[in-house]
Amino acid sequence: MSIRPVPSTTTIRDFNEFWATLRQMLPQLPVVPSPKNVAPAPQVSPLEEALQLSLQNIMEPARVACDAQTLQRYSTQYLYTGAEIPTSNMAAPAAITFPNSEQEIAQLLTWAEERELRILPWGGGGAPYQHKHPDATPYIVVDLRYLNRILEISPQHRWVRTQAGVTWTSLEESLAEHNLTTGQCSPWTTATVGGAVASHSISAKALHYGDLTRNLLAIKALCPAGPIRLSPHPGATDDRLLMLGAFGECGIITETTLRLHPAPQEQLNLVATRSSMGEALTALEILRSANVKFAAARIINTREHSLFSNPTSSSIRQLLRNLIGSTTTEFQLLLNLEGTREEVNSIRRQIEELLREKPLQLAGGDAHLCEPDYAHEALLLQQLREQRVLAHPLTAPVPWHNAAPFLRDWEEALHSILLTTGGHPGKTLTTLWATEDYANLRTLLLGFQPAGADSEPRSQIQDIQAVALAIKQRWHVEEPPTALVSHALSRAGEFLDPNSVMLRG
């Protein structure tokens, strides 16, 4: 079905309508979801017993789980964070393995290949099913949480070698003892180094430290065809792309070597408040065109911030009441400055002059400058869904020159589709963070599910995604990889994984 955005004459301009409708509905909301709204537990088909026993011969039995509860926890349905929604219901894995050595992984790959089973690498579980296609063949999750050793730190040569299952949080804690940093900020507290490399995740502080292309010195991976080591060589094709951003399609990353930077002497967070996203974007554009050297820049919506910043609020009714009670939405441009004290002070003066705002407000800590705690947010979104509120995030990396018109088009179209599919006006909460080439937008949609819809409004979400895709295509956002790149990657896949053991996209 092709969905066209409703013409702009029907655009909802009164954003408060959503809150008014929600207020009317609030007294009718159940305190706990009614059983019919609770999604049924996903069906699981564990490995047959003979295969389980054979698997336990190559790995310690404690490193293999095939019980229904564990399999369900790793299924798409349980995991659904909103960042990904599989094209159709994908079967739950048939087994979960927890290897703690490369040898175990190598044995597992051979074992799976001989039995025509698929392998799905698993880092922190932020978005493990993104770009994976359903397939009838049973698959086994390889959870890398025990490959979590920092192998070597060289303060003198400024690099660190780690296993792939190390989380960014623990890596940064260890490096802080040496006054060093990778400069990579993770969007998810459980996010692993291997997961970020496999999905080519871009750090919020990439403006200052560069992205993984600049900071990843070497990758070691185990492929079904054997182990490989990848590192960039000047003038040669960058073979790291076989693993960097390949979503583990050709093998499992086991080790990475990352560049290190001196930890900043001074950090400062400034806040400039504006009444609309457009105004906040204009302020950011003034700073960007003057080439101001901030480490990270983010525009947040205070409404979204208030929705997710209080991890102690456990009652969804209370949460909704708080939201309805708050009046205006403000947009905050958050700027993170890093460097020596002199550098930070001079950048601060430059920003204050350019924005003609002196002194700019200071924000404490830098946690919310990197990323909000998405794990906590995912939990709250799930609670909202159980109350039949549509709560769905969308993302779009928009080239800077198109950022303002894209944003207007995007929000108008999303408001229209929320109204058409949900029968009542909805709300969009957009945040933005800056990379060198892109304004990365993340829009949380809050709206109503169609009357009589199932607990999971899949078709409504698919309609919304179709509209989002149409807008992205109109503004040339997220161009699909060129035919040449796809061809090159699939040829490499044939060589590194000739029998398609790895679960593909």
Ligand X SMILES: Cc1cc2nc3c(=O)[nH]c(=O)nc-3n(C[C@H](O)[C@H](O)[C@H](O)COP(=O)(O)OP(=O)(O)OC[C@H]3O[C@@H](n4cnc5c(N)ncnc54)[C@H](O)[C@@H]3O)c2cc1C
Q: Give the interface with ligand X as residue ranges (CB under 6 A).
A: 81, 83, 120-128, 130, 144, 164, 187-188, 191-192, 194-196, 198-199, 201-202, 247-248, 252-253, 371, 374
Q: Is 78 helix (H, G, I), strand (E, B) or coil?
A: helix
Residue type, 347: I
- Least separation in angstroms between CB 87 and ligand X: 15
**C-alpha to C-alpha distances, 42 to 69, 70, 277, nearest whole angstrom:** 10, 11, 40
- Least separation in angstroms between CB 195 and ligand X: 2
| Closer by beta carbon to ligand X, 147 or else 413 | 147
Q: Which residue is nearest to ligand X (CB)?
A: 195
- Least separation in angstroms between CB 393 and ligand X: 6
Give the span between the Cα atoms of 236 and 249, in whole angstroms: 23
Give the span between the Cα atoms of 475 and 398, in whole angstroms: 8
**Residue among 224, 308, 180 nearest 496 (CA):** 224
| Closer by beta carbon to ligand X, 195 or else 339 | 195
Residue whose token pair is 């969905």 = 3
| Closer by beta carbon to ligand X, 192 or else 257 | 192
- Judge contact between 218 and 230, C-beta under 8 A: yes
| Closer by beta carbon to ligand X, 194 or else 457 | 194
CB count in 10 Å sphere of residue 374: 22
- Least separation in angstroms between CB 474 and ligand X: 23
CB count in 10 Å sphere of residue 495: 11
Give the span between the Cα atoms of 444 and 82, in whole angstroms: 9
**Residue among 250, 260, 256, 248 nearest 123 (CA):** 248
| Closer by beta carbon to ligand X, 5 or else 125 | 125
Give the span between the Cα atoms of 112 and 118, in whole angstroms: 7
- Least separation in angstroms between CB 470 and ligand X: 22
Give one DSSP letter per residue of 290-339, joined into a string.
TT---SEEEEEEHHHHHHHS-TT---HHHHHHHHHH-----EEEEEEEEE
Give the span between the Cα atoms of 93 and 140, in whole angstroms: 6
Take residue 57 and report the two structure tokens written for it.
């011969």
- Least separation in angstroms between CB 216 and ligand X: 13
| Closer by beta carbon to ligand X, 138 or else 248 | 248
| Closer by beta carbon to ligand X, 188 or else 209 | 188
**Total length of the chain:** 505
| Closer by beta carbon to ligand X, 23 or else 131 | 131
| Closer by beta carbon to ligand X, 193 or else 347 | 193
- Least separation in angstroms between CB 437 and ligand X: 14
Give the span between the Cα atoms of 65 and 59, in whole angstroms: 11
- Least separation in angstroms between CB 98 and ligand X: 13
Give the span between the Cα atoms of 13 and 278, in whole angstroms: 15
| Closer by beta carbon to ligand X, 19 or else 98 | 98
- Least separation in angstroms between CB 237 and ligand X: 20
Give the span between the Cα atoms of 423 and 418, in whole angstroms: 8
Give the span between the Cα atoms of 91 and 326, in whole angstroms: 42
- Least separation in angstroms between CB 331 and ligand X: 18
